Structure 1
């Protein structure tokens, strides 16, 4: 039995924080897991920037409401789901993901959550589990699944290395350079070809 695990942002949907940065003009919010490998450092910076600018959850969700999946993502995800089992493992948050999951026809998603203060500001973030992507792969392997994983960022690399077969999808050059052992796919056609090669 095979199971596929994938990242979400940069794979099937655009980077949420980059879109927030563009809409608000706050450059510091453009940083993502493609730039900073330590997730806690990244999130503490985001929370600090949001507090300094008075941004609240609604400011973020208003931006998310205007976003659509990456062109071809819906069709590609449907292609995968018709053939294989896929679980999306993301370091996004339930409060952010819901409207975008609707646009992707509600694939299975494991992610984190936020603590929202009474005034609507985001006061903290709550990891479902530390290193959750890697640990999910390990858990599926313990259930005798053969695991295939793909993603684009630093926070995906532990998952990719833990999987029976892991590869990058549309990664930035810095990630490719630091992880030359990982194969690279650069579009959905290459992604489907790689999955077909591994699974059929």
Structure 2
């Protein structure tokens, strides 16, 4: 069995690492412009990610990790993942946020797979302005499909809150939208990770 989670707004309280770092580094005005260009279809996701990262050139990995260490878990995140692992689920975190945060969460929660976008640092730990965009804004479905082909799980559950989770929802047997953004629907809509656990317990009893 496989459980795929979005990260920000789902497992952790941060809503968008990209936005939070823009605000931290004083680059939000420009960052907002780039976001609008992407949503108008003027640039692709890889270009958007790179334009964003180029604004942070010269900042350090240390500064990014300072932010990472302030991010708190959603209530019940650890318990939910422990429960799923006891039930023999494989855990995947699929985030269009930043790998610095996703890999820390993946490590702490014991996720089996972590996919997110990777800022490139030079040998001194300084941001180069380049990015490896592993998770396109609409690419979560393709990642989950590939995992399903590899693992052939008897049950696939996807949990998320945003537009970019819809592609992942389509690949799952059961989709759970947690405090979803407007227009985002799953097979179930919940307000807490405790409710996610209750739904999965129900599925396992069937």
TM-score (structure 1 length as normaliser): 0.74
Matches within 5 A, 1:3-82: 3-15=2-14, 16-21=17-22, 23-24=24-25, 26-28=27-29, 39-40=45-46, 42-51=48-57, 54-82=58-86
The CA distance in 2 between the partners of 1:114 and 1:122, in whole Å, is 8
Structure 1: runs of 5 or more not aligned: none
Q: Decide whether aligned partners of structure 1 residues 49 and 68 sit closer, same or farther in structure 2, where only a CA change above 3 A counts.
A: same
What residue is the counterpart of 1:158 in the other structure? 167
Q: Which runs of 4+ in 1 moved over 6 A?
A: none
Q: Decide whether aligned partners of structure 1 residues 134 and 73 sit closer, same or farther in structure 2, where only a CA change above 3 A counts.
A: same
- Residue from 191, 196, 205 that aligns with 1:186: 191
Structure 2: runs of 5 or more not aligned: none
Q: CA deviation at 1:132?
A: 4.9
Is the contact made by 1:13 and 1:70 (CA closer than 8 Å) also made in structure 2?
Answer: yes
- Residue from 110, 121, 127 that aligns with 1:121: 127
Q: Decide whether aligned partners of structure 1 residues 13 and 42 sit closer, same or farther in structure 2, where only a CA change above 3 A counts.
A: farther
The CA distance in 2 between the partners of 1:124 and 1:168, in whole Å, is 32
Q: CA deviation at 1:56?
A: 3.4
Q: Decide whether aligned partners of structure 1 residues 129 and 6 sit closer, same or farther in structure 2, where only a CA change above 3 A counts.
A: closer
Alignment coverage as a number of residue pairs: 189
The CA distance in 1 between the partners of 2:104 and 2:63, in whole Å, is 14
TM-score (structure 2 length as normaliser): 0.73
Is the contact made by 1:90 and 1:111 (CA closer than 8 Å) also made in structure 2?
Answer: yes
